[in-house]
Amino acid sequence: MTVVSRGYVDEDFRSVVVFLWETFRRTGSCQNWFPDRFENSLVGRGGASQTGDIRVWEEIEDTAARQTSRIVAVANSESSSHYFIQVDPAYGFLEREMLLWIEGHFGDKKKDRGKKEKLRVHTIEGNSARERLLSELGYEKGEVAGYLRLRPVDLPAPEFEVPEGYEIRSVRGRSDYDRLTL
């Protein structure tokens, strides 16, 4: 088996979602995004997927009968300078390569190469291997950029009244996304 990296294409969407779901199901870890965040990151960028800021690493098995592949890691951005790494823990050895791709990609996208810009690679605190690698590559730990809160599914929902004139409901497709994005 061989691991190769390549640019993301729209046809990879389902495979990335399956990769994210399977990795969470197997590990129970929140180090990778949940599948809906990946979907929202594509749709939330003005309604069109911005696939140039995403790279996939896939394991390819070539047998005499057929060739199969499965995604084992993804590097993606949520904005021009904020990047994330999604990786199957068994393929953690890819993280250095992923970070080097992010750095090169970030540098290639800069309009003004002379202007200093901060590159931010987000990670959940407690991933000591990734934190050590980032430090080795010259990254500095920054401010807390968000919170991840988990709630046991068997815990009852708290009492809450929705204000008059509002409702809680699921998003109803692309027209709702268009109304939600700024």
Residue 56 near residue 5, CB atoms below 8 Å: yes
**What is the residue extent of each domain of the chain?**
2-152
pLDDT at 22 over 70: yes
With a pLDDT cut of 90, the percent of the chain lying above it is: 42
Neighbours of 13 (CB within 10 A): 16
State which of 116-130, 142-156, 167-181 shows the largest mean pLDDT: 116-130
Rounded CA gap, 131 and 121, in Å? Answer: 10
Give every CB contact of residue 141 below 8 A, 6+ residues apart in sequence.
131
List the alpha helices (DSSP H) in the chain. 13-27, 35-43, 95-109, 128-136, 174-180
Taking only Cα atoms into account, the Rg of the chain, rounded to an integer number of angstroms, comes to: 19
d(CA 159, CA 147): 23
The per-residue pLDDT of the chain, averaged, comes to 84
Does residue 16 contact residue 84 with C-beta atoms inside 8 Å?
no
10 Å CB burial of residue 34 (0-12, 13-18, 19+) is: middle
Averaged pLDDT for residues 132-145: 87
Least confident of 42-51, 70-79, 131-140, 148-157: 42-51
Low-confidence winner among 44-48, 49-53, 178-182 (lowest mean pLDDT): 44-48
pTM comes to: 0.76
Average pLDDT for 10-27: 93
pLDDT for residue 147? 63
pLDDT tens per residue across span 58-111: 999 887 777 889 999 999 988 888 899 999 999 999 999 999 999 999 888 877
Say if domain 2-152 classifies as CATH 3.40.630.30. yes
152 vs 154 pLDDT, higher one: 154
